[in-house]
């Protein structure tokens, strides 16, 4: 079901397919702690967010050069285009590379080589969002923002990811203030494994414009009412939530209740190489397992463009929105 859509919650490192991981390992002389692609796939049985993060960071060891980041982004954009993605706002985790001796330049320049020709090659417009690892220190986040200064013409915003519980948004107040002063847009993961209070804190303390996941807002009726009133977009990732056991089964996912409550939901793939599907696979999953009809699916696609950071190109947003309204579902 390739309805035109924007992808707003996508970690580029989470698009590293096992086949590419092994190819890059060979190219760079790096040894992965898995014997084969099948072995690596077999390791993708997760108990929770941390068990996923352990594998996610281990596999990143193969990403060493500008060309690796270019190849990674190009492979994602090709797959995304085939799944109806017209616009992608892509997260990257610089600290996970800096700590391995890979410079900010290799990461951003490499990603940018793929992103800058993506419209021409894949028909997908893009933005970059730099995430801070919340289980690293606030000082490390601030140093990372400093290192990114020469590249800010290519970076639209900042985000916050990695292990959530025990690392509340308030820990990053100063770096979000500094980023806002630099004109960067602000998002943060909140309410994936962490409590609803982290969502409120991300809004009040970090000034986020979108909440990544935000699933657990449903535990706080006053917060739901606020998110509806303020039209705060939530970037939900249904297949991720199942694989990381934030929900017990797809059938239990609160997305229908969230839409019924009037929340501005979007559907995204998070780390598609690890969670069993890209953008359309997530749309198909919510259609098939949550009984969402055409009106709801069109609403999700419309929301993705309304929530995207396209304020600098409203003509493009209008074009994408018109594509959503004109889309005819297959019979
Ligand atoms: N980094 C990559 N994927 C993530 C997720 N789902 N939650 C937190 N950090 C992440
Ligand atoms: Zn995420």
pLDDT tens figures, 139-197: 999 999 999 999 999 999 999 999 999 999 999 999 999 999 999 999 999 999 999 99
User: Phi/psi of residue 299, each to 5°?
Assistant: -60, -40
Closest C-alpha to 186, from 260, 132, 105, 138:
132
Give strand ranges (E) for the chain.
5-11, 85-92, 125-133, 157-161, 185-190, 210-213, 233-236, 264-267
Is the CB of residue 193 below 6 angstroms from any atom belonging to ligand 1?
no
Task: Give, rounded to a whole angstrom, the gap between the first and last alpha carbons of the chain.
Answer: 11
Give strand pairing partners of 317. Answer: none
* Confidence tier at 89 by pLDDT (50, 70, 90): very high
Task: Output phi, psi for 163, to 5 deg.
Answer: -60, 120
**What are the backbone dihedrals phi and psi of residue 251, each rounded to the nearest 5 degrees, phi first?**
-60, -20
Q: Name residue 298's beta-bridge partners.
A: none
Ligand 1 centroid from CA 189, angstroms: 8
Whole-angstrom distance, CA of residue 156 vs CA of residue 300:
23
**Which member of 192, 193, 201, 299 is catalytic?**
192
DSSP code, position 148 = H
pLDDT of the residue at 133: 99
Model pTM above 0.85: yes
Identify whether the C-beta of residue 60 lies closer than 8 Å to the C-beta of residue 14: no
In the chain, what percentage of residues exceed pLDDT 70? 100
146 is an active site residue: no
Question: Does the Cβ of 11 fall within 6 Å of ligand 1?
Answer: yes
pLDDT of residue 1: 66
Burial class (CB in 10 A: 0-12, 13-18, 19+), 122: buried
Q: Stretch 113-137: mean pLDDT, rounded?
A: 98
How far is the CA of 35 from the CAs of 25, 41, 211, 263, 276, in angstroms? 12, 11, 38, 45, 21
Distance 330 CA to ligand 2 centre (A): 30
Q: What is the overall mean pLDDT for the chain?
A: 98
* Residue identifier of the C-alpha nearest atom 9 of ligand 1: 162
Ligand 1 centre distance from Cα of residue 319 (Å): 31
pLDDT on residue 278: 98
Please, is 6 exposed, middle or buried when counting C-beta atoms within 10 Å of its C-beta (0-12, 13-18, 19+)?
buried
Q: CA 30, CA 136: separation in Å to the nearest integer?
A: 25
Mean pLDDT over residues 247-261, rounded?
98
**Does 5-308 carry CATH code 3.20.20.140?**
yes
Q: Which atom of ligand 1 is nearest to the CA of 193?
A: 7
- Say what percent of the chain tops pLDDT 90: 99
DSSP string, 58-85: HHGGG--SHHHHHHHHHHHHHHHHHTTE
pLDDT digits (tens, 9 = 90+) for 255-290: 999 999 999 999 999 999 999 999 999 999 999 999
Integer Cα distance of 300 and 110 in angstroms? 31
pLDDT at residue 61 in the model: 98
Residues 106-114, mean pLDDT to the nearest whole number: 98
């Amino acid at each position: 079901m390739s309805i035109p859509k924007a992808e707003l919650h996508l970690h580029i490192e989470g698009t590293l397919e096992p086949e590419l991981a092994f190819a890059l390992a060979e190219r760079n002389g790096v040894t992965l702690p898995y014997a084969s692609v099948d072995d690596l796939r077999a390791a993708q049985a997760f108990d929770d967010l941390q068990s996923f993060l352990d594998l996610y960071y281990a596999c990143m060891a193969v990403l060493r050069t500008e060309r690796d980041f270019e190849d990674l982004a190009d492979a994602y954009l090709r797959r995304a285009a085939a799944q109806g993605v017209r616009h992608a706002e892509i997260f990257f985790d610089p600290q996970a590379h800096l700590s391995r001796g890979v410079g900010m330049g290799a990461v951003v320049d490499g990603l940018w080589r793929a992103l800058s020709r993506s419209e021409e090659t894949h028909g997908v417009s893009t933005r970059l969002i730099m995430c801070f690892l919340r289980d690293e220190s606030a000082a490390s986040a601030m140093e990372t923002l400093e290192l990114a200064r020469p590249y800010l013409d290519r970076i639209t915003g900042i985000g916050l990811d990695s292990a959530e519980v025990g690392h509340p948004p308030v820990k990053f107040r100063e770096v979000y203030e500094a980023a806002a002063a630099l004109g960067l847009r602000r998002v943060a993961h909140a309410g994936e494994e962490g409590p609803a209070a982290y969502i409120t804190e991300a809004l009040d303390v970090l000034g986020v414009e979108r909440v990544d996941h935000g699933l657990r807002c449903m535990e706080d009726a006053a917060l739901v009412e606020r998110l509806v009133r303020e039209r705060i977009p939530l970037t939900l990732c249904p297949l991720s939530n199942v694989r990381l056991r934030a929900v017990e089964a797809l059938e239990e996912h609160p997305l229908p209740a969230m839409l019924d409550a009037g929340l501005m939901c979007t559907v995204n793939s998070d780390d598609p190489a690890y969670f069993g599907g890209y953008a359309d696979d997530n749309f198909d999953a919510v259609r098939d397992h949550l009984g969402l009809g055409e009106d709801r699916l069109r609403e999700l696609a419309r929301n993705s463009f309304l929530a995207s950071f396209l304020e600098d190109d409203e003509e493009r947003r209008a074009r994408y929105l018109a594509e959503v309204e004109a889309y005819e579902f297959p019979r």
